[in-house]
Structure 1
Amino acid sequence: MADRSAEGAVAQETETPFGALSVLVVEDESFTRMVLAKMLGTLGVQAVHQAADGESALAAVAAHAPDLVLCDVEMQPMDGFGFVRALRASPESRSRTLPVVFMSGRVDGDREAAARASGATLVLAKPVTPATLRVALSDGMRAAQPS
C-alpha cells in the first residue's frame, strides 16, 4: 500500500506543475481573494496564503516565504505599488527577487510601465480566469529563474 501511495504522489506532482508552489494572494476584496484561492487550488497549488492589503502582505511574505505573489494594484492603506516597492527595498535578497504578479482592471502601456518601474514582474488583467492565471503562474516562475 505504501508503494502505491508514493506512486500516486509522484503522479500527482507531474500532473500538477504548481503543486509545490506557495502563493500569496493580496487582494482587498474578500470574495475575490476567495475566488483566486479556489482557482489556485484547481490549478494544483496546495499552499495558498492570503492578505487584504500591502501592509499585511509584507508580514505574510515574512511569515510564509511564498514562491510567488498575486497582488491587486488598488488597495488601502498600502496599495500594490507601495507593497512591491517596500518588498524590493527589503534587506532580504529573497524579497528583492520574489516574483510579483500585479492584477488590475486597467492594463495598458502606462500601467505596465508603472508596474515594472515599481518592481512587479508582470501584470495580469482582471477579471482573472483559470487560463490567464495558469499563464501568469508559469510566466512569473519563469521570470524568477536565474538566466
Structure 2
Amino acid sequence: SGLGAPSACTPNFGKLEGNFMPFVLTDCAMDGIRNFLQNIVKNDPYRAKECFRRRYQLSISQYYKGLPSSMVDEEEFCKSSEKFAEDYRRRGRCENNYIKPFLGDYHRFLESRGHLADPGPCYFDCCSVKLDGLNYPYQLMRYFAFDGKPCGPRKDQICVLSQ
C-alpha cells in the first residue's frame, strides 16, 4: 500500500469523517499512517528529517504562509461547493453583500436554522439561494476555517484544526 493507506482494511476504513468531524480517522487508518511514518524513519532517515522538521505554530510568521488558507479562498470554495442543490445558483459566503439581502437579518437567519449566531473566527458559513420569483429559499453549510486563517483579537494568531 502507498502513502499510509492501510493494506489489511477495506477502503471505507481509511476515510475521514465528514464536514463537522473532518479530523477523525478510523483506527485502521491511524494504524496505517503510524506504520507508514515509522517506516519512513527506519528506511529513509533523510526523508524523515525533511518530513518532520516543521510543526504548526499558532503565531503568524513567514514560515506559515503555505498553509491552506493562503491557497484556498473561502468565497470561491463556497461558490464551487457541490453540497448545494443544483438549482440554488447564487452561492457564496453568507455575509457577502450579494447573498445577505436574500437572507434578511443574518443572525436571525442563523438562529432560525439552529446554528449558533457566532461560531467564532475559525469557521465560515456558505449559503446558496434559489432565485424563484418572490420566494428565496436558501441552504446553509458551515465549515471549519482552513488552517492558517488569521484569528485572535489582533489577528496575530492562526486557526489550526478549527481552533
Query: Per residue, is there more helix in 1 or in 2?
Result: 1
TM-score (norm 2): 0.27
- Asked which structure has the greater CA Rg, the reply is 2
